[in-house]
């Protein structure tokens, strides 16, 4: 199982503490074995293959593993009028985030904020969050928003302006429970509903027919 590189320092430290625990007591060693196992599992990063779009259409895949908790009309200066899809990631989800489509990074903004429960609608507006806007070759604009949750302590984004991403490419993660919003271009035909479970880089959220 591939591990997210953001978890390597934490995992290495826990492995060292686990080994040290064996020289102290079986109970302490056992606690660290369980904790290390959970952290390794939390930072799992399975391989995903993005679906191939039909000729004349653009597919948008989920940027995160989790449950669809919001589908609503929205607007943002980068995208204009669009459709927002909110995906809640609980502590058991894979937390690596992926690009929903191929595109170049044109917009980035980090906003400090609170850490209320990420599944609450107001979390999109008041929580700590990081915006990444992609522009596709066809001129469409897509916005991904990494939102910190009640337990989330850190948002990781490894992108720079001008960087080109492939559909399904890894670009960051959020540590512990959190939420990712995606703003899809107006006219996208959605293929998901509220309550659906989705997988990052694999589950199709919707399609847009190229004009």
Catalytically active residues are 178
- In this structure, what token pair is assigned to residue 156? 């990781």
**Neighbouring C-beta atoms of residue 3, cutoff 10 Å:** 16
Rounded-to-integer distance, Cα 122 and Cα 42, Å: 26
DSSP output for 49-84: -PPPPPTTEEEEE-SSSEEEEEEEEEEETTTEEEEE
Rounded-to-integer distance, Cα 184 and Cα 122, Å: 19
DSSP output for 42-56: HTB-----PPPPPTT
Q: Are 88 and 116 in contact (CB under 8 A)?
A: no
């Amino acid at each position: 199982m591939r591990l997210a590189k953001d978890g390597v320092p934490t995992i290495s430290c826990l492995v060292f503490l686990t080994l040290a625990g064996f020289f102290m007591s079986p109970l302490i060693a056992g606690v660290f074995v369980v904790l290390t196992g959970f952290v390794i599992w939390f930072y799992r990063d399975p391989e995903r293959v993005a679906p191939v779009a039909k000729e004349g259409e653009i597919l948008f895949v989920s940027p995160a593993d989790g449950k669809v908790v919001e589908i609503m009309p929205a607007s943002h200066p980068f995208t204009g009028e669009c459709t927002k899809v909110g995906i809640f990631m609980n502590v058991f989800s894979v937390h690596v985030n992926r690009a929903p489509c191929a595109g170049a990074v044109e917009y980035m903004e980090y906003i400090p904020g609170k850490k209320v429960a990420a599944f609450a609608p107001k979390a999109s507006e008041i929580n700590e969050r990081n915006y990444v806007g992609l522009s596709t070759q066809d001129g469409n604009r897509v916005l991904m928003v990494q939102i910190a949750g009640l337990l989330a302590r850190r948002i990781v984004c490894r992108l720079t302006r001008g960087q080109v991403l492939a559909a399904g490419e890894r670009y960051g993660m959020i540590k512990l429970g959190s939420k990712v919003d995606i703003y899809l271009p107006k006219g996208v035909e959605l293929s998901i509903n509220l309550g659906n479970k989705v997988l990052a880089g694999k589950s199709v959220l919707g399609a847009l027919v190229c004009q």
